Amino acid sequence: MATIKVVQLLKRAQQLAVDETEINWDLPEWLSCFNEAVITVANARADSTAATVTHSTDEGSKQIIPSDGIRFLTLTRNLGSGYPIRKVERRQLDDRMIPWHNKSGDEVNHFVHDPIEPKVFYIYPQPAAGHEVELVYQRTPNQITISNFDSDTQVLPMDDVYYNALLYFTLSRAYMKDADYIESSNLSAHYEARGYNAIGVKSKSDGGAINESK
């Protein structure tokens, strides 16, 4: 759950960069760096913006995630019956269930997904269009816009556990824009490494990261 305000993170970035008077970067520039940091975290961690929703099936085997999605993650169950849906490799259906793309049924038993088509998945068998299943997919993170940095109350577009990674990647992006100076280039690489490390810590234990919001 996100509770930390975006402006809090931006102020913390200014403090760490010793730039609270905005000599090197003004707040709109910090916000631009933050939005780039959000994309970096989302690309590295699909779970950072994962959403569980009801999906009404289209006719046929081929299905597409909602328009705000980046990639399919999984199907869990048929919502009416609660019957679970299991992943299966396409070759298994291709070898044993030809023509599986035209197999009707009352429930979805299996899904097929190939990362080459991140927004597409296939179901077997195929109930009538409008059958409801539980879908987990990664949403495109919101890009933050702020008109008044003194009063804005928007919170992070992902869980607070990603605060450190977002902070470090924001700093990395800021220093990258000042990379003509060797010290700035080194700091950019340093904070980028810390950002990825923070994501790695999160993947092992959500409570393992020290929150630097204070």
The predicted-structure confidence for 26-68, as pLDDT tens digits, reads as follows 999 999 999 999 999 999 999 999 999 999 999 999 999 999 9
Distance CA 71, CA 167 (A): 25
Confidence check: pLDDT of 79 > 80: yes
Residue 180, pLDDT > 50, answer: yes
Q: How far apart are the first and last CA of the chain?
A: 18
What Å distances lie between residue 128 and 68, 82, 106, 122, 195, CA to CA?
25, 17, 8, 14, 46
Greatest alpha-carbon pair distance for the chain in Å reads 67
| pLDDT-above-70 percentage for the chain | 92
Structure tokens at 203: 């993947």
- What is the structure's pLDDT at 179? 59
- pLDDT one-digit tens code per residue, 147-173: 999 999 999 999 999 999 999 999 999
Identify the pLDDT of residue 207.
Answer: 39
For 177, the token pair is 């824009």
Identify the pLDDT of residue 214: 41
Find the length of the chain: 214
Q: Which of 92, 88, 61 is nearest to 74 (CA)?
A: 88
Domain edges within the chain: 6-47+142-204, 49-139
Residue 111 burial by Cβ neighbours in a 10 Å radius (0-12, 13-18, 19+)? buried
Residue 190 pLDDT > 60: yes
CB 131 within 8 A of CB 108: yes
User: From CA 18, how far away is CA 24, in angstroms rounded?
Assistant: 10
Q: Once rounded to an integer, what is the mean pLDDT over residues 10-27?
A: 93
Give me the half-sphere count of Cα atoms (radius 13 Å) on the Cβ side of residue 190.
Answer: 10
Give the amino acid at 102: N
